[in-house]
Amino acid sequence: MNTTKNILHIKNMVCPRCIKVVWDDLQKLGLEVINIELGKVELKNPISTEVLLKVKYLLQNNGFELLDDKKSKVIEQIKVLIIEGIQSDRFSDVHINLSEYISNEVQMEYSYLSNLFSSIEGKTIERFVILHKIERIKELISYDELSIKEISNLLRYSSLQALSNQFKKETGMTPSEFKKIAGGSGRKSISDI
């Protein structure tokens, strides 16, 4: 019986509900999970190739993908860092430089990571960040707890006008129009970006 290592890297885990779904799937298979976080699961024991195929199938049924190669794992790690950073407002700290942050966390040169990301994803890291910031803006607007100016500051836009221009370029409407017309609808799932 071939065994695999006990660390699984999983694509499309982007929120706490994803963690719960993956946890539940692994429990159905009788696997003991030591730690689970976005994009990564640590199992108590190595699993057989046969069980790994079952895990892969269950994950695919819920929109996840088991990552096998190193490059895919790195790309997923970058995505998770960006998504977590934007959702937790980690990047609102003025002293955080995104490229340095990613490079330090992944422990690779940013130029290599940037080229790898673009070649595999078909978009730059910067474009990926913009798309996720737009969805975060939509989310915050729909909560109606912060002004557009406060959202602009939170997401580190240089000005309210910079946020409005980028939002309009991406959505075809201003943040105010989005608030009035869409009422918070029109948001994309994070995994679809």
CATH assignment of the domain containing 54: 3.30.70.100
152 and 119 inside one domain = no
186 and 138 inside one domain = yes
Q: pTM for the complete prediction? A: 0.75
151 and 183 inside one domain = yes
- Contact at 8 Å (CB) between 155 and 163? yes
The tens place of each residue's pLDDT in the chain, 193 residues long, gives 344 578 899 988 888 899 999 999 999 999 999 999 988 899 999 998 899 999 999 999 999 998 888 899 999 999 999 999 998 877 766 667 889 999 999 999 999 999 999 988 899 999 999 999 999 999 999 888 999 999 999 998 999 999 999 999 999 999 999 988 765 456 666 666 6
- Within-domain flag for 111: yes
Token pair for 113: 């990571």
173 and 145 inside one domain = yes
Number of structural domains found in the chain: 3
Of the candidates 1, 9, 46, 41, the residue with the CA atom closest to the CA atom of residue 24: 41
144 and 116 inside one domain = no
105 and 88 inside one domain = yes
Domain that holds residue 180: 128-192
- Within-domain flag for 2: no
CATH no. for residue 187?
A: 1.10.10
> Strand order in 65-67's β-sheet?
33-37, 40-43, 7-11, 65-67
Token pair for 108: 């690779």
- Name residue 30's beta-bridge partners: none
